[in-house]
Structure 1
Amino acid sequence: MQAKTHPVDQKLPAGKLFALGMQHVLVMYAGAIAVPLIIGGALHLPKDQIAYLISADLFCCGLVTLIQALGIWKFGIRMPVMMGVTFAAVGPMVAMANNPSLGILSIYGAVIASGIFGLIITPFMSRAVRFFPPVVTGTIISVIGITLMRVGINWAAGGQPTMFDMVTKSMIPNPDYGAPENLAVALAVLVSIMLMTKYLKGFLGNISVLLGMIFGFVLSLIMGKVSFDGLGEASWFALVTPFHYGMPTFDLGAIIGMCLVMIVTMVESTGMFLALSDLTEKKISNEELANGLRADSIGTVIGGVFNTFPYTSFSQNIGLVGVTGVRSRYVCVAAGLILAAFGLFPKMAHVAASIPVFVLGGAGIVMFGMVAATGVKILGNADLNHNRHNLFIVAISFGAGMIPLVAPQFFQQMPHWLATVVDSGILLATISAVMLNLFFNGQGSVEDIRNYAMAAAHSSDH
């Protein structure tokens, strides 16, 4: 008698696969394009290059999703998982982008190195997770959200107070910063997302951020605030090529920062996979778990090679599996093919790059605020009521994480080679939380490992 196929391995009709796959793409699309928009803006790249970053990101989202969901040798958990750029890496990458001695090639060098680091430590992650209980991961994710909120707030005002002049190659005041119409559109986007979140149900409610951005884009178009300059020159079809911006450079401080981000995202991914195992009612072995983490790591290497950023599983898509009840991994395979195809059409990316920054600001306040709120939610599993030591860990780590945010010159007399470390509030908070947790609570027990990971999974949302 032939064994019954598990719903995770069930192959659905092509039409149904396409429709369900497109639903996964729409749920993650806003998050997928947000990171290249943030980093492209921080690097002061022209619109055509930001569009290229979006194309590269969509292409790699699809490629890494195929590796994770379909599986290749020891890479991929073979579950319904969608892969996208992790927001945990945004803070350190923005710090690198703002450091004149680093820039985009150092970002890619750090991304590639962190992916290789992830491949090396995958077999040891079962032991490393104990260093990242909820009090540590919750603190880190909260600081990530708070740090990113500065980006979202400045976007809502129209960008940064100063902007990079491509002609003079210098910083000049941004005349549109804080303009009432910018603030009005950002507020309209924010309010529309809240209304849709409350009143729209099911799938439409799940893509409220994307719908809010579309609303803001249309509103800006009506107001004459959208520029499609360069759209006519953009190709209809173009391949994403490796090392588009040149060979990466490797800075030790940048690499250390990105490797710490890699550890945090691997802890989160472990929790996502365990939660998905419960959701799909398919048990996963330690080897399968390792295969999933290897896909995260090789995806990050691929990201650095193909001009994009670190990859991890997107939790909102795992939530969609629960909402729809469709457990087939081949739906995510179809979604991966759709994303990869999207990345090959530069005109589509150029339209996304034309979204006014204040529209992104309205959505960014929601997205980045949710990152911070997710950290707070994870801290709810940290026994703050009965373990006063954990309160010290959170308090001091929050303080360390705020230093570069509120006092950018705080470490100006430190050695130059330390700049990448001390200029990242996320990195300072991570080091502080891990070390203080070891001091107050020790290493934790092996039995706690899965509980920690599950707590992160049930609370996390990229």
Structure 2
Amino acid sequence: MDPDPATHSVDTRLPAWQQVLFGLQHVLSMAASPVTAVFLVSRMLSLPGDMTVHLIGATFFVCGAGTLLQSLGAGPIGARLPFVMVPGGAPAMLFAVIATQTDLRTAAGAAILTSLFYWLVLPVFARCLRFFPRVVVGTMLVLVSVSLIKIYAGIVVGQPGTPAFARPLSLGLAVVTIVATIAVARLFKGTVGRLAVLLGLVVGTLAGWAVGLMPAAGLWDGPLFTLPALLPFGMPRFDVLAALPMLIFSVISMAEATAQTVAVGEITGKPIDMRRDVPRTIRGDALASLVGSLLGTSLIITSAENIGVVQTTGVRSRYVTATAGAMLMVVALFAPLGRLAYAIPAPVVGGTALIVFAMIGVMGINLLGKVDLHARGNQYTLAAALVVGLIPILVPNVYASFPGAGADRSR
């Protein structure tokens, strides 16, 4: 049945099989983020294997629940836009640093405090939204794109000084994934063309399996089902001073949520009311982060990579991302699915991410194209934002002497 032409594409329900396929595309595009975030914390804190598995399941579960909340909404909470939630790399690093300097209970308390801090600061932040014109939002998207491309290029090439650094095989897998994605998008129309990201990832994964980089062994090791545990680190401790780096990050996160809400509105053609929709997005982030912190995760935030998927595929329905949220909750409960997602070769994940994050930069450029850059004020605003945003990307240790600089704030 054809969708009602009076219904906006964001609010259109697709046939069930299309929602499942497009939802799976979102899941595979973000699946590396929960696993990577948990393994980062696990390695830094030397957590036991069984706790790591449980935290992976809890993270997938909260990401799924948060995705459902942002996609469908509940009163004044949730954007009702095609968002998918992930554990950000920066808050995961901050969580690990706080736990290293204090203990896990204090880190969990910091995550809870920050989740509540969102609610406290939001009324003030909402009054500042008029200071986010297109030139600011467009610049933020370009900078986010450049930062994320740098991070995921590192996933493709590996760490300098290691034997695996810049291996031709890794670069080749990333290129195969990117070329397959572009080829499907360019050569096919309709549903197949919109599945370009998923099909490119499948082609890259099959290529990785063919060259022995994706072993099937281990998928069925360990428990089949996992359930998130409440307060897995024990009763949290609340230390505002220890939580300060995460509290500061929450303000940055709110600014990013603003840019992402505006970007999704631009992509989908859905009119965005800044005073209504941005606070809804931030409340969704805050509630998902609060639930996650009670289950042992760090902050849960809206996903930039999935905004790129919406831009790349043109599938705008929030019911697709809601389906992805339900899938993430299934992945959380059925442990082998999480292990399968983790088994996808890193160069394939990186190659998929590179093309998706580049699309975020395209969104930013598109927004900047609508700005009058002949106006002197806009010129200086753009120039200043580029300087401030690019310096930490191009000179990573520029803030090395600042307090709390051990936590990398890149995502």
TM-score range for the pair, normalised by the shorter chain length = 0.7 to 0.9
CA contact (8 A) 2:231 2:294 kept: yes
| Equivalences, count | 393
Q: Counterparts in 2 of 1:376-391, with a 5 A limit?
A: 376-384=365-373, 386-391=374-379
Q: 1:142 is matched with which residue?
A: 142
Q: 1:297 is matched with which residue?
A: 286
1:169-216 Cα offsets, whole Å, 9 max, x none, are xxxx52222222222112111211111121122333233222222211
Inter-partner Cα distance in structure 1 for 2:352 and 2:267: 27
Distance change in 2, residues 1:58/1:401 (3 Å): same
Alignment of 1:56 with 2:58, yes or no, is yes
Q: 1:344 is matched with which residue?
A: 333
1:331-379 Cα offsets, whole Å, 9 max, x none, are 7655543332222111011011011212222222212322333333332
Give the secondary-structure state (helix, strand or coil) at the position aligned to 1:226.
coil
Give the secondary-structure state (helix, strand or coil) at the position aligned to 2:222.
coil
Distance change in 2, residues 1:135/1:100 (3 Å): farther
Inter-partner Cα distance in structure 2 for 1:212 and 1:287: 37
Distance change in 2, residues 1:376/1:217 (3 Å): same
Alignment of 1:260 with 2:252, yes or no, is yes
Q: Counterparts in 2 of 1:71-110, with a 5 A limit?
A: 71-72=73-74, 74-76=76-78, 79=80, 81-85=82-86, 89-90=88-89, 93=92
Give the secondary-structure state (helix, strand or coil) at the position aligned to 1:235.
coil
1:71-124 Cα offsets, whole Å, 9 max, x none, are 5454346x46443228xx445655776899569968866654443233234445
Alignment of 1:397 with 2:395, yes or no, is no
Aligned-pair identity (%): 25
Q: Which moved more, 1:238-247 or 1:358-367?
A: 238-247
Unaligned residue ranges in structure 1 (runs of 5+): 1-5, 162-172, 427-462
Amino acid in structure 2 at the alignment position of 1:368: F
Which one of 345, 349, 353 corresponds to residue 364 of structure 1?
A: 353
Inter-partner Cα distance in structure 1 for 2:162 and 2:42: 13
Q: 2:211 is matched with which residue?
A: 223
Q: 1:166 is matched with which residue?
A: none
Alignment of 1:67 with 2:69, yes or no, is yes
Alignment of 1:269 with 2:268, yes or no, is no
Distance change in 2, residues 1:113/1:142 (3 Å): farther
Inter-partner Cα distance in structure 2 for 1:68 and 1:191: 32
Amino acid in structure 1 at the alignment position of 2:169: E
CA contact (8 A) 1:32 1:57 kept: no
CA contact (8 A) 2:177 2:201 kept: yes
RMSD: 4.2
Q: 1:311 is matched with which residue?
A: 301
CA contact (8 A) 2:58 2:228 kept: yes
1:25-58 Cα offsets, whole Å, 9 max, x none, are 2231133213224435655749987765653343
Alignment of 1:28 with 2:14, yes or no, is no
Give the secondary-structure state (helix, strand or coil) at the position aligned to 2:31.
helix
Distance change in 2, residues 1:144/1:217 (3 Å): same
CA contact (8 A) 2:153 2:354 kept: yes
Q: 2:229 is matched with which residue?
A: 241
Which one of 191, 200, 214 corresponds to residue 212 of structure 1?
A: 200
Inter-partner Cα distance in structure 2 for 1:420 and 1:33: 26
Inter-partner Cα distance in structure 1 for 2:309 and 2:153: 26
1:297-343 Cα offsets, whole Å, 9 max, x none, are 2123223333254233754686799758xx7x767655543332222
Which one of 133, 153, 163 corresponds to residue 175 of structure 1?
A: 163
Give the secondary-structure state (helix, strand or coil) at the position aligned to 1:343.
helix
Distance change in 2, residues 1:215/1:205 (3 Å): same
Amino acid in structure 1 at the alignment position of 2:196: S
CA contact (8 A) 2:27 2:328 kept: no
Amino acid in structure 2 at the alignment position of 1:256: I
Q: Counterparts in 2 of 1:271-286, with a 5 A limit?
A: 272=264, 278=270
Inter-partner Cα distance in structure 2 for 1:214 and 1:266: 32
CA contact (8 A) 2:135 2:378 kept: yes
Inter-partner Cα distance in structure 2 for 1:175 and 1:56: 34
Which one of 401, 405, 409 corresponds to residue 419 of structure 1?
A: 405
- What's the TM-score, normalizing by structure 1? 0.69
Q: Counterparts in 2 of 1:42-53, with a 5 A limit?
A: 42-43=40-41, 45=43
Q: Which moved more, 1:286-295 or 1:222-231?
A: 286-295
Distance change in 2, residues 1:153/1:121 (3 Å): same
Amino acid in structure 2 at the alignment position of 1:26: L
Amino acid in structure 2 at the alignment position of 1:237: F
Distance change in 2, residues 1:20/1:134 (3 Å): same
CA contact (8 A) 2:82 2:319 kept: no
- What's the TM-score, normalizing by structure 2? 0.77
Inter-partner Cα distance in structure 2 for 1:356 and 1:233: 19
Q: Counterparts in 2 of 1:121-136, with a 5 A limit?
A: 121-124=121-124, 126-136=126-136
Distance change in 2, residues 1:110/1:80 (3 Å): same
Amino acid in structure 2 at the alignment position of 1:117: F
1:285-306 Cα offsets, whole Å, 9 max, x none, are 9768755542332123223333
Distance change in 2, residues 1:351/1:137 (3 Å): same
CA contact (8 A) 2:70 2:281 kept: yes
Inter-partner Cα distance in structure 1 for 2:280 and 2:399: 41
Give 1:424 shift: 4.0
Q: 1:441 is matched with which residue?
A: none
Distance change in 2, residues 1:117/1:394 (3 Å): same
